[in-house]
Structure 1
Amino acid sequence: MKKIEFGLMTFADMAPETVPGKGISAHRRIQHLLEEIKLADELGIEVFGIGEHHREDYAVSSPTTVLAAAAAVTKNIKLTSAVTVLSSDDPVRTYQQFATVDLISGGRAEIMAGRGSFIESFPLFGYDLSNYNELFEEKLELLLAINRSERVSWSGSQRKPISNLGVYPRALDGQIPVWLAAGGTPASAVRAAKLKLPLMLAIIGGMPSNFIPFINLYKKTAWENGTSAEELQVGINNHVLIGEDDEAIADAFFPHYARMMDRVGKDRGWQPMTRQQFEFMRSERGSLMVGSVEKVVNKIVMEHEMFGFTRFMAHSSMGTVPHELVQKSTELYAKEVVPQVKRRIGIR
């Protein structure tokens, strides 16, 4: 059986600053975030991912900066973005920054590239949203070219060409693992498969079973394009919070989760989240993994049966969930959930 990795990720949500122009809330949130990564490393979690956002309710706009800080205080854990909004970034700088994290960490950096679920970065960095798809496709192409070769010649329609220029520094082994992040659009599955990139799917609502055709499309296209079953990598990401008492952790989590989902959904036309909807998402068929160790183990095993994932990322630090609950969830995840899942699916 292929190796299966278990990781954690966060968007570093925070309460907006109470004093305009000050970074008090962001300072506190980033300090807590570094504590979360350090604990995950100490407990043997294999991967930690940090998202990129440019809003007042998220603390991290530059994942590589925080990953570099984490690299200096950890020993074994892989450090990845989750995601890098590549459409509004520069692929040269993206590679350089992750290569620097890779050198600090001794070869533990990864890139999870995506288009992102928010659009604030486009006007902020001067990009036209009408070029949304073209920007991502071209910049991903350039990033992969830089990753493959020290010297690059490239041309496209969204930026000036590069003619046989070197990109430095290089990562410790030259190349950095690049994953493609997706939310379920079939074109994303086909793109990742044709480029022979590992795929990370975020399941943050509805029923996981709805995504089986998406993963099957990725696998089928990957095999048709020369990726062997042994090489295939599929990642799944769910919202996760674990407690010793199933109902108690649900009661503690619901107000924070509902506020976060309502805040995000306000601009997207979502209805306010009800406790009934929350409980459906927590049920056996739902995507939300919030509850006891047993409940979370059962749901991760179910998703492994559905998707055959090689990496599972638990998104545990969400909204304004207290830091102490996140740390306790991490301990239960590492010490109880992951070992039980591994036993259930037959890996040591």
Structure 2
Amino acid sequence: MNKITFGITTFLESGVDADSGQISHFERINHAIEEIVKADEVGIDFYGIGEHHRSDYAATNPEMILASAAKLTKNIMLGSAVTVLSSEDPIRVYEAFSTLDNLSKGRAHIMAGRGSFIESFPLFGYDLEDYDDLFTEKLNQLIHINQHEVSHWKKTKHTVALNDITIYPRSYRKELSMSIAVGGSQQSVVRAAKLGLPMILAIIGGDPIRFKPFVDLYKYFYIASGHDESKMEIGVHAHGLITDQDESEFFERYFKSHHAYFKKIGSERGWSETTKSMYYHNIEHGPLFIGNAKRVTDKIERVMKSLGINKFLLHAPGAYMPHEDVMKSLELYGLEVIPKLKERLS
């Protein structure tokens, strides 16, 4: 498999209400620039921003924010987490990220996905009945544009024809770095494997180890499709935040905002309300990677070894937390957690 890498992702959480913590989109977007610079300084491999179109997130246009940070950083990969490709134009996606790739000298990354929220579909005039076809057709066109300097693409229901056309600017490298984010769909896992694209498993519920069958499924179809096993890349994406403060006090502070977020999302989706006992269970045995550096290091190590993967993306903060908490988490992640994990997993 490919080398072991570690990253940070965020939806630029700006908060649900004043009681559980809330800041303006102006503040959250500018905090993100500081986070990216810090992440680069402490040696984190990747910083990704997830596209959303709702009031509690400040990330409608990740590429603009990443481009603003490109000239302030040197090594860190800059990407989406995710680009909701179903409601995007693949041509414009390529143009935006190839521009970012040139600004950053080859550090742009597209993480394509269908997204866990559907606000972008009515916003941009798409029908949810076309949910699967939209993603499939647009992903195939984006891959074609990325791999061919001169495009010859036959029109489909959801994409335009490209007849002997070059999309500019071309990326700094021969091809843009790309991956596919998946949830709990076997079809999505198999598609990513057959295409030979890196896969990121988004884990928001249950023990992360239960995703092992998806990892095994990906590996089987990746190898069966004739792709180079040494280039295989599989990662997980899970919420977390690292602290050097008293854990019990930190857990209580994080719970207030975490509970408010999931209560709001749960009311939209018909989920049962998260209790404090469920929250603490998720810290110990579930998908929350929260606590001191040792706790988080040990948990990431267990998950990566058990799943047999080579990439971990810590989604921070996952719910609104003060900027100083996020910056401290990045520092601990880059300077303490990641070096220990690379040593243990090497």
**What TM-score results when the alignment is normalised by the length of structure 2?**
0.95
**Structure 2 CA distance for aligned equivalents of residues 89 and 49 of structure 1:** 18
SS class of match (2:111): strand
Q: Does 1:281 align with 2:246?
A: no
Q: Name the residue aligned to 1:292.
A: 292
**Structure 2 CA distance for aligned equivalents of residues 315 and 117 of structure 1:** 14
Say if 1:200 and 1:236, in contact at 8 Å, map to a contact too.
yes
1:240, CA displacement in angstroms?
1.1
Say if 2:138 and 2:159, in contact at 8 Å, map to a contact too.
no
SS class of match (2:271): coil
SS class of match (2:226): coil
Q: Name the residue aligned to 1:85.
A: 84
SS class of match (1:159): coil
Counting aligned pairs with the same residue, the percent is 45
SS class of match (1:325): helix
1:17, CA displacement in angstroms?
9.7
1:319, CA displacement in angstroms?
2.1
**Structure 2 CA distance for aligned equivalents of residues 291 and 213 of structure 1:** 28
SS class of match (1:230): helix
Q: How does 1:1-348 map to 2 (within 5 A)?
A: 2-15=2-15, 25-155=24-154, 156-244=156-244, 245-283=246-284, 285-345=285-345, 347=346
User: Which stretches of structure 1, 4 residues or more, deviate above 3 A after TM superposition?
Assistant: 15-18
**Structure 2 CA distance for aligned equivalents of residues 278 and 58 of structure 1:** 22
1:158, CA displacement in angstroms?
1.5
1:45 corresponds to which letter in structure 2? I
RMSD (Å) for aligned C-alpha atoms = 1.5
SS class of match (2:329): helix
SS class of match (1:73): coil
The gaps in structure 1 that reach 5 residues or longer are 19-23
Q: After superposition, what is the alpha-carbon deviation per residue over 1:295-330, rounded to whole angstroms, capped at 9, x for unaligned? A: 111110111112222211111122221111111111
**Structure 1 CA distance for aligned equivalents of residues 97 and 275 of structure 2:** 40
**Structure 2 CA distance for aligned equivalents of residues 138 and 30 of structure 1:** 32
Say if 1:111 and 1:177, in contact at 8 Å, map to a contact too.
yes
The number of aligned residues is 340
1:216 corresponds to which letter in structure 2? D
SS class of match (1:238): strand
Q: After superposition, what is the alpha-carbon deviation per residue over 1:63-109, rounded to whole angstroms, capped at 9, x for unaligned? A: 11111011121111000100000000000000000000011111100
| Higher RCO by CA contacts (8 Å cutoff, separation 6 or greater) | 2
**Structure 2 CA distance for aligned equivalents of residues 100 and 287 of structure 1:** 35
**Structure 2 CA distance for aligned equivalents of residues 26 and 290 of structure 1:** 25
